[in-house]
Amino acid sequence: MSLKDLQEWLYGCTHCGTCKDILNTFAPACPAGEKYQLESYFPSGKMLIARGFVNGVLTLDDDDTRERIYACTGCLSCEQQCGVYHHQHIFDTVQALRSESVMQGNLNPAYMVMVESLKKDDNVFGKPKAERREWAKDLKLKDAAKENTEVIYHAGCMLSFDADLWEIPRSAVKLIKAAGVDVGIMGVEESCCGGRAYEIGYDGEFTKYAEHFIETFNSLGTKKVVTSCSDGYSTFKNLYPKVNIEMKFDTLHMVEYLESLINDNKLKLHKKVPLKVTYHDPCHLGRHLGEKGVYNAPRNVLQNIPGIELAEMERNRENAWCCGAGAGVSQENPDLALWTANERIKEARATGAKALVTACPWCVRNFKDAVKKYGEEIEIYDIAEIACKAL
């Protein structure tokens, strides 16, 4: 996205501050603003930075200014709270500032490493491409790059390379197989979706991955791609249309797919899992999808698991507080990422839940790291892990 494309929205913000809190409950809405408190960290401050940049008053070669631009988890809570006509373009503006920084060659070291890894190994973690299917090595899954399958499960970068989280994709494919569905994976041929590259301003890298992804699946004649990664899912749904190539396949998030398998009586979750849980709505599965936000499916899945007691946090659904990992923050500003996660964990604990369940590996990773850092007592799960216990 270019700032030139956003001219229409650039002056929308009056700096009124409505974006700072959840409408009607007035609980904090913006992680970066809440942590740092300076106006430049709040969404309205970032809108003014964009204006200052366009008007030639501010430059992006200042590390300190860029730090503020990158201190945004892209959670879109501001867009949810703001009612002014530009409200759906606040993160677009932040992304455009990042893109402008990259174009000017004002690069952040943490992201340079990440992008180099993308170029070399098609993932954002600096891991060898050959290790991408390690998580599934004993599962005897079909190689979807070589043979047709009804469903292709896309693990994404985080679940492919973080061994601590491998139980999530393994649970997901076990559930799909338990429903009698023919499922395969792309294995070493799988690549990053490109969403993270887009969010940190590397538009060119994003376009490369989007084109590759769509063309690959189109050429394979794929009908359905299912992923447990909410970031990836919203990239498919929201960002891929930007590259103007028809997607001849359907994309589903694992929670949607699980719900449909349960509703179609293909999947029976009958074993009791006695646990009080609270559900964290990942931003990319909720607000990023606008009116199509996936809020009911995960709750329906949890309520179909015998023994599960679901308690809601004060900020939920469209108003959920972010986990802190999004838009490159966990790579570049772990302090902000983990502080944000811990704020959410405290909210989760206030419900009396013993476990925080979510539906995005970036959230799971960040919550686990925050538990390690801050020591709050709570278990962290992906929804597939809980559902798998009920098989």
Partner 1 sequence: MLQAVTSELIEQLEKIVGSQFVSTNAADLYIYSYDLTPAEPHSPDIVVLPQSVEGVQAILKLANRENIPVIPYIAGGNVGGLTIPLNGGIMLDLKRMNRIIEVSEDDMYALVEPGVTFGQMKSYLTNNHPTLKYTYAFSPPSTGVIANALVQGLDNLSFRYGAASHWVTGLEVALATGELVRIGSCAASKTWQAIVPFPEIGGLFLGWQGATGVVTKMAVSLWPNPPYNNALTYMPMDLEGADAILRSIIRTRIPDDLIGTSFTLNKAGVAAYEHRKMDLYPAVKREGDEPEFVITAEITGNTEKELDAKAEALSEAVEAGCKGYKFTGPETVPSTTAAFPMQALGVLSSGGGLMWVGTYGPMSRWLETVKKGCELQDKYDITRSCYTRIMNEGHFAGLRWMLPYDKGDPALIERINDLCAEQLELVLETGYIPYKTPVWAVRKLEERVSPGWLTLHRRIKAILDPNNIMNPGRWGMPRE
Q: Which is nearer to partner 1, 58 or 378 (CB)?
A: 58
Cα 276 vs. chain centroid, distance in angstroms?
25
Q: Where are the alpha helices (DSSP H) in 226-380?
A: 230-234, 254-263, 296-303, 329-332, 334-349, 361-374
- Which residue in the block uniquely carries the two structure tokens 């008053």? 57
Cβ 43 to partner 1, closest distance in Å?
12
Give the residues lining the site for partner 1 (CB under 8 A): 10-18, 20-21, 23-27, 36-40, 45, 48-49, 51-52, 57-59, 62, 64-65, 68, 83-85, 87
Cβ 60 to partner 1, closest distance in Å?
10
Cβ 97 to partner 1, closest distance in Å?
11
Instruction: Enumerate residues 6+ apart whose C-beta is below 8 A from 257.
Output: 151, 176, 226
Cβ 118 to partner 1, closest distance in Å?
29
Cβ 390 to partner 1, closest distance in Å?
36
- CB of 28 closer than 8 Å to CB of 21: yes
In the structure encoding, which two tokens stand for residue 115, read together?
């992008």
**Type of residue at 61:** D
Q: Which is nearer to partner 1, 59 or 303 (CB)?
A: 59
Q: Which is nearer to partner 1, 40 or 342 (CB)?
A: 40
Cβ 373 to partner 1, closest distance in Å?
18
Q: Which is nearer to partner 1, 11 or 263 (CB)?
A: 11
Angle between helices 109-121 and 203-220 (to 10 degrees): 30
Q: Which is nearer to partner 1, 55 or 219 (CB)?
A: 55
What sign has the CA pseudo-torsion 214, 220, 222, 226?
Answer: negative
β-pairing, 355-358 vs 275-279, is parallel
Q: Which is nearer to partner 1, 87 or 280 (CB)?
A: 87
Q: Which is nearer to partner 1, 322 or 336 (CB)?
A: 336
Distances (CA, A) of 60 to 13, 102, 128: 21, 10, 33
**Type of residue at 39:** E
Cβ 50 to partner 1, closest distance in Å?
10
β-pairing, 224-227 vs 275-279, is unpaired
Cβ 11 to partner 1, closest distance in Å?
4
Q: Which is nearer to partner 1, 21 or 203 (CB)?
A: 21
3-state secondary structure string, 139-206? CCCEECCCCCCCEEEECHHHHHHCHHHCHHHHHHHHHHHHCCCCEEECHHHCCCCCHHHHHCCCHHHH
